[in-house]
Amino acid sequence: MSEFRRIGGRIGAEITGVDPNALPLDEVNDALLEHKALVFRGAGLDDEGQLRFAERFGELTRAHPTVPSVEGRPDILPVNGEEGIRSNVWHTDVTFVRTPPKLSTLRALVVPPYGGNTLIANSAAAYRDLPDPLREFADRLWAVHTNDYDYVLPRTNTDKAVEYRQTFTSRRYQTAHPVVRVHPESGERGLFIGGFAQKIVGLSNSESRDILRILQSYVTRPENILRVQWTPGDLVLFDNRITQHYAPDDYGDQPRTLHRVTVAGDAPAGVTGETSYIIEGDDATHYTPAQAA
C-alpha cells in the first residue's frame, strides 16, 4: 500500500517526513511511473543522502555535459539563478545528448520567501489529449534537440551571464529524438519535445516552430501541471522520460539554491522502436555512461 498521496489530477504525489532512502525501491518506482513526479516533504537529506537516493535507480550521470558541478561533487549540479540565466523555459533535462538522464532529483537548500517554484508537466497526458489525426502525425515525427540556441541567451549582458552561455555551449550537441517516446518501463507514450527541440526533421525552421508550438501547447495545459512550492529540505524526483519542467523567474534577486542529481538513461525509442541518433557532437561519455548504439 503506497504511502504517497496524490496531489494533482494528472501528475504528482507527495509523502511527508519520511527518509526517501528508507522506502522500498519498488514502491517509489511504481509511484513514480504512475504519478511522474514525487515530492518528498521534509526529506532531510544532505548531498550524500541525495546521491545515495538517486543511485538506487541506476548509475548516475555527471553533473552536466558542459556546466561545472558543485565544488568537489562531480555528480551534483548547482541550480541557482545567480548565473544570469534561469530555467524559465519548458524543457526536459539534457535532451540534446543521445541518452538523456532518465530521472532527475532536485533538493531545495535555499528558497525565496515567495516565488521560485518548479512546474512539472505530464507529457503522456498531453499526448493522450491530442486529437487522433494530430497524434498519428506526431507518432511519425522526429525532432532535433540542441544545446546551442536561445534558451541559453543571457537575460542580462553581465560578464557572468555571457560567460555562462559560453560555458553552456562550449561543446555543441545536436541529437534527433522521436517526438513521441515510448516509455521503456511502462510502455506509455509521451511527447518528447521541450525547449531543446528546435527543429522537426524534414521541415523548414518556420514549419518546425509552428508544429512544435502546437504540440507543446498540449504539454503546458494547466491540467497537466504540478506546481511545487519549495521548503528547504524538500526533495523532488521526476521522470525525465515523460515530463517537462519550468522554473518561473518570479523571485527577483532573492537567493534560491537547489542541487540536482540525475540518473543515466537509455536512448529514447519511438513508436516503431527506432532509437535516437547523433547529428552533431559526441556521445557524451564524459557525462553519461556509454550505451550500445
d(CA 166, CA 159): 11
| Choice between 6 and 62, CB closer to Fe ion | 62
Q: Choose between 107 and 211: whose C-beta lies nearer to Fe ion.
A: 107
Annotated catalytic residue 93: yes
CB of 32 to Fe ion, least distance (A): 17
Q: Please tell me which residue in 91, 171, 183, 189 is annotated as part of the active site.
A: 91
Considering the complex, state which of residue 23 and residue 104 has its C-beta at the smaller distance from Fe ion: 104
Least CB distance to Fe ion at residue 106 (A): 8
What span, in angstroms and rounded, lies between the C-alpha atoms of 38 and 29?
10
In angstroms, what is the minimal distance from the CB of 195 to Fe ion?
Answer: 9
CA distance 69 to 66: 9
Which residue is associated with the grid cell 504539454? 219
At closest approach, how far in Å is the CB of 260 from Fe ion? 7
Q: Are 244 and 95 in contact (CB under 8 A)?
A: no
Identify whether 91 is a catalytic site residue. yes
Asked whether position 75 contacts Fe ion by CB under 5 A, the answer is no
Is 260 among the residues known to form the active site?
yes
Q: Which of 93, 129, 148, 234 is catalytic?
A: 93
Q: Which of residues 80-119 bind Fe ion (CB under 5 A)?
A: 93
Residues in the interface with Fe ion (CB under 5 A) total 1
Helical residues (DSSP H) of the chain, grouped into ranges: 25-35, 47-55, 123-129, 132-139, 159-168, 205-219
Task: Confirm if 123 and 215 have CB atoms less than 8 A apart.
Answer: no
Q: Is residue 245 among the annotated active site residues?
A: yes
By CB under 5 A, what part of segment 133-152 binds Fe ion? none
Query: Residue 99 in contact with residue 291, Cβ under 8 Å?
Result: yes
In one-letter notation, the amino acid at residue 68 is: P
Instruction: Return the number of the residue (77 or 141) whose C-beta is nearest Fe ion.
Output: 77
Catalytic residue among 107, 171, 245, 256: 245
Number of H helices, E strands in the chain: 6, 16
Residues with catalytic annotation? 91, 93, 245, 260
| Interface positions with Fe ion (CB under 5 A) | 93
